[in-house]
Structure 1
Amino acid sequence: MELFSFSEMSLDHVPSYASVTSKPNWSHLTNTVGPGLVEQLQTSLDLAQQLQIFSMAAGKVLPLTAIEMHTAVGVFSAAGSYPAEHEYRSMLLLNDQCLAELVYQSEVQISPLQQRRLLELETQWLFPLRNALVVTRLQQLALKDTLTGLGNRRFFDDSFAKAVQFSERKQQPCALILLDLDNFKAVNDHHGHHAGDEVLLAVADAMRNTLRVSDNLFRFGGDEFAVLLTSEDAASAELVAHRLVKAISQHHTCDKFGVSASAGLAQLVELEDCKSLFNRADSALYQAKQAGKNLVRQSAKTTATVAELAKA
């Protein structure tokens, strides 16, 4: 049974935000365990917070070491979870749709009575959980590129600003890699946009398989991509850039259409802002293109260079 998903659902059929946040009629639900749980769950549309609220109620039924929730929008674990000897799994179903699978872990065996009481708690969670899943999915759609599933420009701008601010505050490295596909226009011109979409999907897959944290991947639109690296990942940014370029050129779909990628890299320097860092990475990308494509070029990490580009 598939987990609750909107991948094949028109947004016309997604409940409006007003209907999502309105209070359902709970008169038909049992409330023999955890009085007030429904009301507590309705205070948040954040999945992690709802899981935390639920875990506190479930902990009164059974001494638990962990609760993990598997959904179509991600996997969530209650704070402080750690594995134990005994495991119990439960599917949360609403109108024949599987909203999530819960995985309970405990040092003691779960009895049939405890399973029944957990089921009563789960029943009270169904509508708040469904509402939170709808909102989370809509939020994800607003920040994702519809073709590749990578972060879009809006998501990049927000993530970029936060990463630079965090790196400066913590005095940790931050790096930006900009990539542009080589010979991509020829694919659209000679083979059509369907083939172009096939290449873009292949590039996204190659990048995901190369990077440890796929949340740092973005597609601006067209054939332009960005990678945001922080902390220890930023320290090896040049190696990452070379791996990305190699992975893209060696992907069988890209190789089939003769597509490669050029990359420009810039490391954040002291007192630099987002605009300057982006300009340096963009300038390095231009140099890679001019040097023959399928290459990586890195911007010099000098204060003078930053000052010059900031004026541009």
Structure 2
Amino acid sequence: MWQEQGNLTNAFGDLTFGSSWQDTPDCSENSLVSQLQTTLDLQQQLDIFSMSAGRALTLNGLTLKTALGEFQATGSKAGEYQHKTSLSLDQQVLAELSYESQYPFTPLVQQQLLILESEWLFSLRNALVVSRLQQMALKDPLTTLGNRRFFDDSFAKAVQLAKRHQSPFALLLLDLDNFKQVNDIEGHSIGDDVLLKVADCMRETLRVTDSLFRFGGDEFAVLLTDTDAEHAERVAERLLSAIKSESFLVKLGVGCSIGLARLSHEQQPRDLFHLADEALYQAKSSGKGKVRHSQVSRANLTDKLTHPMRVAS
């Protein structure tokens, strides 16, 4: 489960604490240990820890780097002095902490921080385990893209946020062309390789901030925000071109069709999804290997909401 942390060990080194602190942890009501035990959320634990660390030295910022991602304490900013340390438990590196302050990290301050860090280790490990399990539950096991459950949640939140801030947002739906034939003729192992290549093309073509998903089968989705949403057709064409030019996919005759829909103020997530779905149907029915931007008006959605798209691969 924690194979990723082996990389952290190589990158960050190791830090082993003595056993004395483990034997008698302070679990009084107001202790750091008891406060950390109230949550398994990594961001909340970091904010709790930063408040205690701030009593040892006034901090400008605090960053936690883990195999699951990077987190910053609320309000963090750069400081003149930096201090880094690795957090390890049972000879396993859990994370790296990076402190920022306007004041130097004297040996006494470092010792005080070390004591506080030792009080965080068990709660941090538990939070990392839970976060890892949550991530696994939301990822497609083959491609490691988000799964349908993750898409439903992310899509609804992204639409709500875009409408609140009146920022551009677009949805791309992808369906592979000729995948079924390749899967049937070449076998599922080659079919899996195709899906992995497509996922790699998506990661390499799109921004880190764009959200990528695999629904299952050969269906994918992309959530585009801000600048990329304004130029969604250009992004979709770039993605289509990347998949068309991938040598492994070219050899097997696999391409993709893409349906695109942009969010308007009156639309709900369900409306936007069906507009993109209709655009994908248009791309498939017009000869495949194309990008289509839905021109369906909201008034014409009534029938489409109750009739799911049917396309041939």
TM-score of the pair, normalised by structure 2: 0.84
SS at match of 1:63: coil
Distance 2:184 2:302 in 1: 40
AA of the residue aligned to 1:225: F
SS at match of 2:60: strand
8 Å contact 2:173–2:220 — kept in the other structure? yes
Aligned-residue offset at 1:307: 4.8
Name the structure 2 match of 1:36.
31
Within the alignment, does 1:226 sit opposite 2:226 as a pair?
Answer: no
Name the structure 2 match of 1:239.
234
AA of the residue aligned to 1:83: A
Aligned-residue offset at 1:225: 0.2
Identity of aligned residues (%): 56
AA of the residue aligned to 1:251: E
Name the structure 2 match of 1:208.
203
8 Å contact 1:265–1:296 — kept in the other structure? yes
Q: How does 1:78-97 map to 2 (within 5 A)?
A: 78-97=73-92
8 Å contact 1:152–1:220 — kept in the other structure? yes
Which has the higher mean CA deviation after the structures are superposed, 92-101 or 195-204?
Answer: 195-204
Name the structure 2 match of 1:288.
283
Name the structure 1 match of 2:176.
181
Taking only aligned residues, the RMSD between alpha carbons, in angstroms, comes to 2.4
Within the alignment, does 1:266 sit opposite 2:261 as a pair?
Answer: yes
Within the alignment, does 1:101 sit opposite 2:96 as a pair?
Answer: yes
Name the structure 2 match of 1:122.
117
SS at match of 1:64: coil
CA gap 1:301/1:190 in 2 versus in 1, 3 angstroms:
closer
Distance 1:286 1:79 in 2: 45
CA gap 1:161/1:2 in 2 versus in 1, 3 angstroms:
closer
CA gap 1:71/1:215 in 2 versus in 1, 3 angstroms:
farther
8 Å contact 1:151–1:215 — kept in the other structure? no
Match among 142, 147, 150 for residue 147 of structure 1: 142
8 Å contact 1:29–1:123 — kept in the other structure? no
AA of the residue aligned to 1:150: L
SS at match of 2:56: coil
Aligned-residue offset at 1:180: 0.6
Q: 1:79-133 CA distances to partner (integer Å, 9 max, x unpaired)?
A: 2222233322111111111110111222333222221111110100000001111
Identify unmatched segments of 5+ residues in structure 1: 6-25
AA of the residue aligned to 1:226: A
Aligned-residue offset at 1:245: 1.0
TM-score of the pair, normalised by structure 1: 0.84
Name the structure 1 match of 2:310.
none
The list of structure 1 runs, each at least 4 consecutive aligned residues, that deviate by more than 6 angstroms after superposition, is: none
Aligned-residue offset at 1:232: 3.5
Distance 1:81 1:93 in 2: 24
Distance 1:102 1:270 in 2: 42
Distance 1:223 1:214 in 2: 23
Q: 1:57-91 CA distances to partner (integer Å, 9 max, x unpaired)?
A: 11111222221111111111112222233322111
